[in-house]
């Protein structure tokens, strides 16, 4: 497995990239440079790091430089300046032969328009990468069949690409990349050319596949929903620059600038935001040893009608209702044990809001957010579920 | 003042003449070698075809047409060739065929590599190969005959050389075009998998360009055949010289017969090379 790191990467198109690079590094704007030198800046000072096994999504609209950026990673385009470090080795400085080695063993790419070889069968498309390495026919065939089975194309091995649908063609593209068992998978708008439904299927399958193969993936897309769904982290690109890098939630809840804010405005937040991001700190919690009067006082202070009871390790014991507590206090009882109710709902911190909705509709108490050891992390009241979905939820809540 | 308004005469014709005589004087040995190679190839081709009885050759061609093309192509081949035989033009037709096939083969052997090079080095292709091809195609074919006679003297070889020059452009152009038309995403994919330049050419570009290249081969062979009558003016034998002698005697019957034989050969060669290209296009 490998890590990938990009440092201060520039790609400039035109006749005098050096001049344009200096101007850009001196802080001149893209338009200004284009006007003065006729050079276009494709990628402007991009730096990021991709962790082992991570799915790193680069998102931006067309012309934002994202496809150029990914092509600089395996040098389908040569960067003008900067470093691409694969396990600490700078790919930009590799010789032709070393670069071929990287392409054959370390990094494979999946393309938007598939890039299948029309004159070869599906199986021969997949085993091409092995064939050019001189792998014997039998072994090649075996590996190609395995890769095709992995992407769900068993039985289609001897057909030609033209006989397959778009989604199936892209599976061939994926198998062709996977058969080389690379550490890093580069996916350039891999699902963008597919119908919405097939696209969704492919996304789901990629996620499932990723569970199995655990590759480091750099995924390029212009589709925010896709980025949020697939990405462990997302880099947002605008005019050649990376304007923000963060987890899907960070991008949604703390957009770095107006561009990102506008971009994320229309997203279906309920599918991305999790319980953790809308829960509140459970201030009003009592220890079972505390008596009913202490509980009563806390509820009054917080203006709530029920309160959670936890043990000394903050593990949830139950919930008490204000009416029960009052009765108990009147009787002069010291322990809350007799009135502890167990009919509350719990959830884990990474549950998405959309999955919380049914619970939020029926529950009598705030939903308790707990970790694996049943430790109380926070509470979610019904109103914050609703405001979490709405656009500026974090401002009102 | 006067000299500014009058364009000086540039002796282009004289210059070309000087070049040709320079070539003749200092590279005569080279042309002699070429002469021997072409003459031997044409002669041995004729010898083989004339060794067998005409009916056997006709049968072989018909079977070939069946294998490569269709049943109807085989029937057409059989009728057409039998007609040539019955018109007593068999020997002339074989002469012509030998000349055409040898010339085409040489044109392809030179043309396809040039086409590949023109596609790989696009500036060389656009700035040098293209204008030269334009020149070769638009220069009246008769003009090629003159230097050909000087360098190779009258006969089949001079005719073959003129034919090669005249027939080569289509296969160069279409090889170039076919390779350039390979989709860029296919090329990118092949490169991203770690192909060497040679692997790109042999495993990706040429196979995908093959149908287009075959169209070029077909065109080159057809042009070579169309050159036979012209080449007969400098002593290349075959059907061309039959047409020419009929023309000089204003003899309509034999002229038409010889012309018809050319048409039959042309159609046969066209259909056979075409079905070859279809076969490869689908494979």
Which residues from chain B sit within 8 angstroms of residue A158, using beta carbons? none
| Tally of structural domains, chain B | 1
Residue B145 lies in a domain: yes
Interface residue of A119, A161, A218 to substitute, partner B, most B CBs within 10 Å: A119
pLDDT in tens, B65-124: 998 888 899 999 999 999 999 999 999 999 999 999 999 999 999 999 999 999 999 889
pTM over 0.80: no
Closest CA to A336 of A346, A348, A347, A326: A326
Tokens, residue B272: 């056979």
CATH number at residue B181: 1.10.3720.10
Structure tokens, B260:
């018809």
* pLDDT tens per residue, range A133-189: 999 999 999 999 999 998 889 999 999 999 999 889 999 999 999 999 999 999 999
Contact B188 A112 (CB under 8 A): no
In words, the CATH class of domain A276-396 is alpha beta
Whether residue B12 is contained in a domain is answered as no
Q: For chain A, which residues make up each domain, given as ranges?
A: 4-106+182-267, 276-396
Mean pLDDT, range B30-43, rounded to an integer: 89
DSSP annotation of A367 reads E
B-facing residues of A in 120-149 (CB < 8 A) are 128-129, 131-133
Using DSSP bridges, classify how beta strands A306-310 and A316-321 pair: parallel, antiparallel or unpaired.
antiparallel
Is the minimum CB–CB distance between B282 and chain A shorter than 8 Å? no
A74 neighbourhood in chain B, CB within 8 Å: 192
From the list A101, A111, A128, the residue facing B188 with the nearest CB is A111
Residue B8's CB is within 10 A of a number of other CB atoms, namely 6
In angstroms, the CA A232 to CA A243 distance is 17
Is B22 within the bounds of a domain? no
B192 to A103: CB separation less than 8 angstroms, yes or no: yes
Using CB atoms, which residue from B189, B208, B210 is nearest to A111? B189
Structure tokens of A353? 């809001």
pLDDT above 70: percentage of residues in chain B: 97
Q: Which residue, among A191, A380, A187, A152, has the nearest Cα to A282 in the 3D structure?
A: A380
Measured from the Cβ of residue A290, the count of other Cβ atoms closer than 10 Å reads 16
CA closest to B187 among chain A residues: A115
B72 to chain A, closest Cα gap in Å: 29
**Highest mean pLDDT out of A272-276, A322-326, B150-154, B218-222:** B218-222
Please give the residue of chain B at the shortest CA–CA distance from A72. B192
Better-predicted residue by pLDDT, B126 or A302 = B126
Return the CATH superfamily for domain A4-106+182-267: P-loop containing nucleotide triphosphate hydrolases (3.40.50.300)
- The pLDDT score that the predictor gives to residue B282 is 47
Q: What is the mean pLDDT of residues B52-61?
A: 90
Mark yes or no for CB contact B186/A133 under 8 Å: no
Cross-chain residue pair A115–B204, CB shorter than 8 Å: no
**Residue B20 placed within a domain:** no
Distance from the Cα of B283 to chain A's closest Cα (Å) equals 7
Burial B192-219 (b: 16+ CB within 10 A, else e): bbbbeeebbbebbbbbbbbbbbbbbbbb
Residue B221 lies in a domain: yes
pLDDT at B3 exceeding the cut of 60: no
Q: Cα separations (Å) of A300 from A279, A296, A357, A378, B262?
A: 21, 6, 28, 19, 111
Residue B170 lies in a domain: yes
Using the structure block, give the residue that is written with the tokens 């210059």.
B15
State how far residue A128 is from chain B, nearest Cα, in angstroms.
8
CB contact under 8 A, B189 and A180: no
Q: Cβ separation of B207 and A119 shorter than 8 Å?
A: yes
Q: Please list the rounded mean pLDDT of every run of 10 residues in chain A (397 residues).
A: 86 89 86 87 92 93 90 94 92 93 94 93 95 94 93 91 92 94 93 88 90 90 90 92 91 88 79 81 73 83 84 84 84 80 86 83 85 86 75 44
Query: Is B10 contained in some domain?
Result: no
Residue B281: pLDDT band (50, 70, 90) is low
- Between B234 and B196, the more confident residue is B196
pLDDT for the residue A2: 67
Report residue A151 as tokens: 């992407």
Q: Say if the Cβ atoms of B188 and A113 lie within 8 Å.
A: no
In a domain, B120, yes or no: yes
- Is A118 an interface residue toward B (CB < 8 Å)? yes
Q: Report the residue of chain A nearest B192, measured CA to CA.
A: A103
Q: Is the CB of residue A227 less than 8 Å from the CB of residue A190?
A: no
Domain range for B89: 27-282
- By DSSP bridging, strand A241-246 and strand A233-238 are antiparallel
Between CA A158 and CA A376 the distance in angstroms is 56
Pull the structure tokens for residue A349: 């911190």
Q: Do residues A270 and A300 touch, judged by C-beta distance below 8 A?
A: no
Closest CA to B192 of A77, A138, A388, A261: A77
Q: Does B202 touch chain A (CB under 8 A)?
A: no
B204 touches chain A (CB under 8 A): yes
B194: contact with A, CB 8 A cutoff: yes
Name which of A223, A212, A144 is nearest A190 in CA terms: A223
Number of Cβ within a 10 Å radius of residue A293: 13
């Amino acid at each position: 497995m490998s890590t990938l790191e990009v440092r201060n990467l520039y790609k400039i198109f035109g006749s005098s990239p050096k001049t344009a690079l200096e101007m850009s590094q001196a802080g001149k704007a893209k338009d200004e440079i284009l006007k003065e030198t006729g050079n276009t800046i494709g990628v402007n000072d991009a730096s990021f790091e991709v962790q082992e096994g991570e799915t790193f999504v680069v998102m931006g609209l067309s012309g934002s430089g994202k496809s150029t950026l990914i092509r600089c990673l395996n040098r389908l385009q040569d960067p003008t300046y900067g470093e691409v470090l694969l396990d600490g080795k700078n790919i930009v400085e590799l010789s032709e032969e070393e670069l071929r080695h990287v392409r054959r063993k370390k990094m494979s790419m999946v393309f938007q328009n598939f890039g299948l070889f029309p004159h070869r069968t599906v199986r021969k498309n997949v085993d091409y990468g092995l064939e050019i390495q001189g792998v014997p026919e039998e072994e090649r065939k075996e590996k190609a069949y395995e890769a095709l089975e992995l992407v769900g194309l068993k039985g289609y091995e001897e057909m030609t690409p033209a006989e397959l649908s778009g989604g199936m063609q892209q599976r061939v593209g994926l198998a062709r990349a996977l058969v080389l068992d690379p550490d890093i998978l580069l996916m350039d708008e891999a699902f963008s050319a597919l119908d919405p439904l097939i696209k969704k299927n492919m996304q789901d399958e990629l996620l499932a596949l990723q569970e199995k193969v655990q590759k480091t993936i750099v995924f390029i897309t212009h589709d925010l929903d896709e980025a949020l769904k697939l990405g462990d982290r997302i880099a947002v690109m605008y005019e050649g620059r990376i304007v923000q890098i963060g987890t899907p939630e960070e991008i949604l809840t703390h957009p770095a600038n107006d561009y990102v804010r506008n971009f994320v405005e229309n997203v279906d937040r309920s599918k991305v935001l999790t319980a953790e991001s809308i829960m509140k700190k459970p201030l009003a919690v009592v220890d079972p040893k505390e008596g009913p009067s202490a509980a009563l006082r806390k509820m009054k202070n917080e203006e709530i009608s029920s309160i959670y009871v936890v043990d000394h390790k903050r593990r949830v014991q139950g919930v008490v209702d204000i009416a029960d507590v009052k009765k108990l206090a009147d009787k002069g009882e010291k322990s809350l044990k007799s009135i502890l109710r167990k009919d509350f709902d719990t959830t884990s911190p990474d549950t998405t809001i959309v999955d919380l909705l049914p619970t939020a509709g029926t529950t009598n108490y705030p939903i308790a957010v707990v970790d694996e050891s049943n430790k109380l992390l926070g509470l979610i009241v019904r109103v914050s579920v609703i405001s979490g979905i709405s656009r500026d939820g974090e401002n009102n809540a | 003042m006067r000299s500014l308004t009058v364009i000086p005469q540039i002796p282009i014709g004289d210059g070309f003449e000087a070049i040709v005589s320079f070539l003749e004087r200092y590279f005569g040995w080279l042309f002699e070698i070429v002469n021997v190679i072409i003459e031997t190839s044409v002669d041995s081709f004729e010898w083989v075809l004339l060794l067998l009885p005409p009916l056997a050759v006709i049968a072989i061609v018909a079977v070939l047409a069946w294998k490569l093309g269709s049943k109807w192509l085989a029937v057409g081949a059989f009728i057409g060739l039998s007609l040539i035989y019955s018109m007593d033009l068999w020997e002339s037709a074989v002469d012509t065929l030998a000349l055409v096939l040898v010339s085409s083969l040489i044109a392809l052997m030179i043309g396809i590599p040039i086409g590949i090079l023109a596609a790989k080095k696009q500036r060389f292709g656009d700035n040098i190969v293209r204008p030269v091809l334009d020149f070769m195609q638009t220069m009246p074919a008769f003009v090629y005959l003159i230097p050909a006679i000087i360098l190779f003297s009258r006969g089949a070889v001079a005719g073959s050389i003129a034919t090669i020059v005249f027939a080569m452009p289509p296969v160069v152009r279409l090889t170039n075009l076919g390779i350039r038309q390979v989709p860029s995403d296919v090329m990118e994919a092949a490169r991203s998998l770690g192909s060497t330049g040679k692997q790109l050419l042999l495993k990706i570009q040429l196979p995908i360009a093959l149908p287009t290249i075959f169209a070029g081969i077909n065109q080159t062979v057809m042009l070579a055949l169309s050159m036979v009558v012209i080449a007969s003016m400098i002593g290349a034998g075959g059907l061309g010289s039959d047409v020419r002698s009929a023309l000089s005697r204003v003899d309509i019957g034999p002229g038409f017969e010889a012309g018809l034989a050319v048409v039959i050969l042309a159609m046969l060669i066209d259909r056979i090379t075409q079905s070859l290209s279809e076969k490869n296009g689908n494979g």
